[in-house]
Amino acid sequence: MARSVHLARIVVVCLVCIIVLGGIVPEMAMAARVLRQGMTGSDVRELQQRLVEWGHPLPIDGKFGPVTAAAVRAFQKSLGLTVDGIVGNQTWEEIRKAPTLIHRVKRGDSLYILARSYGVSIEAIMDANDLTDEIIIIGRELTIPQGRTVTASGQSLVSDNPPEQVYQVRPGDSASVIAKKFNTSVPALAEANRLADPNRLRAGQKLVIPGWQANMPRFAWPVRGRISSSYGWRVHPIYKNRQFHGGIDIAVPVGTSVRAAANGKVIRSGYMGAFGYGIVIDHGRGVTTWYGHNSRLSVKVGEKVRQGQVIARSGSSGVSTGPHVDFRIKLDAETVNPVHWLP
């Protein structure tokens, strides 16, 4: 009997050892080490990537240098942790959580304003809060998803340019004054802020300035004429299907001088399929302008042009129903509504 009990105890001890060695020990081996300035390794790279996701831009090179230490301190301070620049268990625990922010809805808030203020999409906010429409209630707390997608080299795939600016109306301001100040238009202000009457503003009111970017040049009209087709969804005049029109069509007679909307460098000049004889000008910082359906081109690739310089003659080349200029503005390869940027 005593021998049987002894053997049973040995079996239990062996099972415990197997569990410890097979489960707990590997988990302990996988536990993150304490990181501090001067260290290197894959865990430092993970730390850097997670800091970037939390909105602290820095290179992801696997080296814990002064920049990484400063980002760690900033992260610790933002979460109320001990600010020492050392990544211990508590800092690891917090930094490995999905980065989110909580915003309490105030009067005047909209999903558009929140998306632009926090640099995320409206769809992301709706998904994070299980919203089925864009109506939000004052006082409700909304989860704002944060984080940036990064490449293996640590480069952020989200632009570091500032989001669209929020401006607080001052006494004496008018919609036209504000539009002129930020190089936009009154209709654009009304559309972005859902203003029933843009001429009735009150001091202290906050307005989103649509498309405002510090790096966007001041554009001039490439031609003067009637806008025959606006920016956005439309039924294509030839194909008769619903398509997104990424520019504005400005109707002008054949041979009208087409001028550069801003200073820049010609990066494309030639026949561009459905776009006809077209020109693309690079204005730097990801901004380009496009001019389509011309009858004749006056500049070549590589030429530098000045605002107002004649670059082409209008026409109806490519897929077109009549003479016009298809004018487009792109920011980081994405089209924006040109009328928001033209005087």
* pLDDT tens by residue, 36-60: 999 999 999 889 888 877 767 677 8
User: Where are any strands of DSSP class E within 94-191?
Assistant: 100-104, 141-145, 166-168
Phi then psi for residue 233, to 5 deg, are -70, 140
Measured CA to CA in angstroms, residue 255 lies from 90, 226, 295, 310, 313 at distances of 69, 16, 7, 11, 5
Residue type, 291: Y
d(C-alpha 125, C-alpha 96), whole Å:
21
pLDDT for residue 50? 84
State the pairing for strand pair 324-331/287-297: antiparallel
pLDDT for residue 79? 79
pLDDT for residue 57? 65
pTM above 0.85, yes or no: no
Q: Which of 80, 52, 91 is nearest to 68 (CA)?
A: 52
d(C-alpha 4, C-alpha 211), whole Å:
81
pLDDT for residue 163? 41
d(C-alpha 67, C-alpha 56), whole Å:
10
Following CA atoms 289, 294, 276, 325 in sequence, which dihedral angle do they give, to the nearest 10 degrees?
A: 60
- Residues of the chain with pLDDT > 70, as a percent, come to 78
In this prediction, residues 273-299 reach a mean pLDDT of 94
Q: What is the pLDDT of residues 217-227, one digit of tens each?
A: 788 999 999 99
Kindly give, in sequence order, each residue whose CB lies less than 8 Å from that of residue 126, ignoring residues fewer than 6 positions away. 111, 132, 134
- On average, the pLDDT of the chain sits at 79
| 290, 327 Cβ separation under 8 angstroms | yes
d(C-alpha 88, C-alpha 93), whole Å:
9
| 83, 71 Cβ separation under 8 angstroms | no
| 86, 36 Cβ separation under 8 angstroms | yes
Query: Does the CA dihedral 220-224-226-227 come out positive or negative?
Result: negative
Kindly give, in sequence order, each residue whose CB lies less than 8 Å from that of residue 70, ignoring residues fewer than 6 positions away. 85
pLDDT for residue 70? 87
| 45, 60 Cβ separation under 8 angstroms | yes
Domain annotation for the chain: domains and CATH numbers: 35-97 (1.10.101.10), 100-145 (3.10.350.10), 166-208 (3.10.350.10), 226-340 (2.70.70.10)
The two tokens of residue 271 are 């026949």
pLDDT for residue 265? 96
Q: What is the pLDDT of residues 151-165, one digit of tens each?
A: 333 333 333 333 446
Q: Lowest mean pLDDT of 82-96, 161-175, 304-318, name the range.
A: 161-175
